[in-house]
Structure 1
Amino acid sequence: MKYLSRPWLPVVFAALSLLAHAQAQAEDFRIGFVNTDRIFREANTAKAAQAKLEQEFSRREKDIAELGNTLKAASERFEREALTLSESQRAQRQKQLVDTERDFQRKRREFQEDLNSRKNEELQQVLERANRVVKQVAEQEKYDVILQEAVYINPKHDITDKVIKALNASK
């Protein structure tokens, strides 16, 4: 059996030294995870944004629901009375129903687009504020990396509760 020759001995020691150094560095490496969905559900700023949106859009939503109910009632009434109406009356009522349906669909679509746009604006503000708080927590507690999305995360790395508490405490 042949033993390692002396020229290889320093290389082996250097590799072992690097491995030990890398392991020590890995122990100092701190990683955290933040669940943004929980922040959007649980943080006071997110709840306030949701309440603001509900207040801002509740009247329009109610108006659209009323228009939908009116359209449904008119359609049912037309179905019941269609056989007793003259051809011209039937055509006129049918045209009114089609126009009302088109108006209803347009208003509902515009409402949804406006709501989505405002919701995105509000959530963007919440996210920007949350990101500032995440950065503060990371700096204070000396984290090297904070992830916001992951397929799996060990719960011991989840700092979402800390972020929500800090976010709720800040103004």
Structure 2
Amino acid sequence: MKVSTLSLVAAALIGVSQAAVADTKIGFVNSDRVMREAAPAVRAQQRLEKEFEKRDQELQRMAKDLKAMQEELEREVPTMAESDRRNKERALNDLNRDFQRKQREFREDLNQRRNEELASVLDKANRSVKQIAESENYDIIFQEAVYANPKIDITDKVIKALSDAK
């Protein structure tokens, strides 16, 4: 008799759980897509490119100069005096060290600014997700998942909401 009572309780709980699950509204947002395609993310990327364009061009020019200097040194080494060779090698090493320092600073500054811009976009995206969740009565919206059925994907709605927002 205890086994049948336990079975009835288990069956009742399963029925309640299935009913609760059936009433649950779940959504999914692909954050990577939002960060690539939403208007604020695109504008942030354009701002970063414009802000760092001159420094990037300077680094490219320095890299070209370094390569030309290295090739010139390799070409002229057999006919150079020892002191001239040392002076050119020293100049090449100084330029290389300066280039590497500027390159490292550029990457650090770019990463810091990118993180700032992305944090702002992410904040706006999260507000849009919350507004959609509240207005459409979602119980939960996931941003990370191994798999999400396309019918619960609300990424396009979030992108549109971000693009429509001023």
TM-score, L = length of structure 1:
0.91
Q: How much is the aligned-residue C-alpha RMSD, in angstroms?
A: 1.6
Select the residue among 17, 23, 29 that pairs with 1:22.
17
Q: Within 1, Cα distance between the matches of 2:71 and 2:122? A: 46
User: In structure 1, the residue corresponding to 2:27 is in which secondary structure?
Assistant: strand
Q: Which amino acid aligns with 2:84?
A: Q
What is the aligned partner in structure 2 of residue 111 from structure 1? 106
User: In structure 1, the residue corresponding to 2:137 is in which secondary structure?
Assistant: coil
Select the residue among 63, 67, 76 that pairs with 1:72.
67
Post-superposition offset of 1:105: 0.7
What is the aligned partner in structure 2 of residue 47 from structure 1? 42
- Does residue 164 of structure 2 align to residue 169 of structure 1? yes
- Does residue 151 of structure 2 align to residue 152 of structure 1? no
Post-superposition offset of 1:21: 2.5
Deviations 1:19-68 (A, max 9, x none): 32222211110111100110011100000000000000000000010011
Unaligned runs of 5+ in 1: none
User: In structure 2, the residue corresponding to 1:112 is in which secondary structure?
Assistant: helix
Q: How does 1:7-18 map to 2 (within 5 A)?
A: 13-18=8-13
Deviations 1:63-97 (A, max 9, x none): 01001101111111111111111111111111000
Count of residues in correspondence between the two structures: 166
Q: Within 2, Cα distance between the matches of 1:45 and 1:156? A: 25
User: In structure 2, the residue corresponding to 1:146 is in which secondary structure?
Assistant: strand
Post-superposition offset of 1:13: 4.8
Q: Within 1, Cα distance between the matches of 2:7 and 2:89? A: 89
Unaligned runs of 5+ in 2: none
- Distance change in 2, residues 1:83/1:34 (3 Å): same
Select the residue among 114, 132, 149 that pairs with 2:127.
132
What is the aligned partner in structure 2 of residue 34 from structure 1? 29
| Identical columns (%) | 52
Larger Rg belongs to: 1
Q: Which amino acid aligns with 2:49?
A: E
